[in-house]
Structure formats: structure tokens, C-alpha cells
């Protein structure tokens, strides 16, 4: 696992795609919603997962798995593998598995009551960033009150997600922010599954 400053910066290209989509969310977009893997999900990479969607349109879709953690590490280690123990401060950050695409690219989903010029609005309550400074602030218990650091993302080519939805590989559930940022990973899938089809 090498989520470093350069890797966070490399996510900027993907972030620009999310920004373009956020500027004009099409009717029927699942951005801001959860995809919940069906109990018989045929792809083992996504079995038991809940994905928070940040982009969905004719050009494809993008989201992040929110209920798998790879490890916990100091922010300084995440941003600089050569950091000395004396440089570590604050608290460890949970490193979530966002998906199989761009596995070395780091992103931060954070609450909408905090934003910088480098954050992209997904909904009023959830923003997306690849700014390393936010990670440092999270370690110091500053910055966004709630946030998730994720490595990698889940992506779909045009029409691919629609085909998977038609096969009932996924259910759609409201992207409740309390569930999104809740550290209780063990129950996220069940709670999201129970909310499928509910309009909030």
C-alpha cells in the first residue's frame, strides 16, 4: 500500500472528471446514492460491498466502496514513506478500499460543512477531494468533521452499470451521510440493503 503525496496528486485527473459531471448532473443520475451489492453478486471483488456514487451519466460512472478498510496508518506515513517517527502527530487514518481501478490513487470523501478550492461538490452534504492537506487536518482532528480516505475507485464504462442494474447485481439506496461516514463497517451492507428502494 503506497498512498503518498504524489499518488494523491495523481488523482487530480479523475477528480476533474467528477467535477465536470457535478457541474451538470443529468436526470436519473445516481451520484449521491449508494449501490448495494446483491446477496448473489457474481463479481467477488464487489461481494458484500456498498458503493457511494460520485458520478453517473452517459459517459460512465464512478464511485467508492465504503465498507472495506485496508489498514490504518499515520497521515505522515501515507503522504511520505520516508517520514521519521518524530514527525508523526495526531491520530492514525483508516485507509479504505475504494475499488479495483486506480488502486494507488487516493481520494477523500468529506462532509459538506467543510470545503476548499480543491474540493468538488457531489451533493450539498458530501464533497470529494484529492488534497493532501485535508488528510493532514483529519489526522489533527481539524478540517472536515467527517471524512473517509480511500485508495482506488470503482468505475464503469458507458452503459456498463445500467446492464449490471438490469441483471439485479446491484440495488439502489439513498446515500445517507450518517451511514456513509459511520465507522461501523460490519453493519453497513445490511443497513444499506434494508434501505434499498426507499426515497428520502
User: What is the rounded (10 degree) CA torsion for 164, 169, 171, 176?
Assistant: -90
C-alpha cell read off for 134: 485535508
Give dist(CA 135, CA 138) in Å, integer.
Answer: 5
pLDDT value of position 93: 84
Looking only at the bridges linking them, the beta strands covering 101-111 and 147-156 are: antiparallel
Give the pLDDT confidence of 125-147 residue by residue, as tens digits: 999 988 888 888 887 778 888 99
pLDDT value of position 137: 84
C-alpha cell read off for 102: 486506480
Q: Which fold has domain 5-23+30-80+94-194?
A: VC0467-like (3.40.1740)
Q: Where exactly are the structural domains of the chain?
A: 5-23+30-80+94-194
Interior CA angle at 98 toward 166 and 61, to 5°? 40
pTM (predicted TM-score): 0.86
pLDDT value of position 145: 86
- pLDDT beneath 70, residues of the chain: 1-27, 80-90, 198-200
Amino acid at each position: 500500500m503506497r498512498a503518498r503525496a504524489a499518488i494523491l496528486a495523481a488523482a487530480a485527473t479523475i477528480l476533474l472528471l467528477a467535477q465536470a459531471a457535478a457541474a451538470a448532473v443529468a436526470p436519473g443520475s445516481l451520484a449521491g446514492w449508494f449501490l448495494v451489492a446483491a446477496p448473489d453478486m457474481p463479481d467477488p471483488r464487489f461481494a458484500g460491498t456498498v458503493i457511494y456514487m460520485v458520478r453517473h451519466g452517459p459517459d460512465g460512472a464512478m464511485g467508492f466502496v465504503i465498507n472495506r478498510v485496508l489498514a490504518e496508518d499515520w497521515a505522515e506515513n501515507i503522504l511520505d514513506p520516508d517520514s521519521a517517527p518524530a514527525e508523526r502527530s495526531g491520530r492514525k487514518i483508516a485507509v479504505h478500499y475504494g475499488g479495483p481501478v486506480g488502486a494507488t490513487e487516493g481520494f477523500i470523501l468529506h462532509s459538506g460543512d467543510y470545503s476548499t478550492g480543491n474540493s468538488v461538490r457531489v451533493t450539498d452534504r458530501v464533497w470529494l477531494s484529492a488534497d493532501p492537506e485535508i488528510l493532514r487536518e483529519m489526522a489533527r482532528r481539524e478540517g472536515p468533521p467527517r471524512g473517509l480516505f480511500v485508495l482506488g475507485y470503482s468505475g464503469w464504462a458507458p452503459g456498463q452499470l445500467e446492464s449490471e442494474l438490469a441483471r439485479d447485481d446491484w440495488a439502489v439506496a439513498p446515500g445517507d451521510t450518517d451511514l456513509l461516514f459511520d465507522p461501523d463497517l460490519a453493519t453497513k451492507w445490511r443497513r444499506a440493503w434494508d434501505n434499498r428502494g426507499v426515497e428520502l
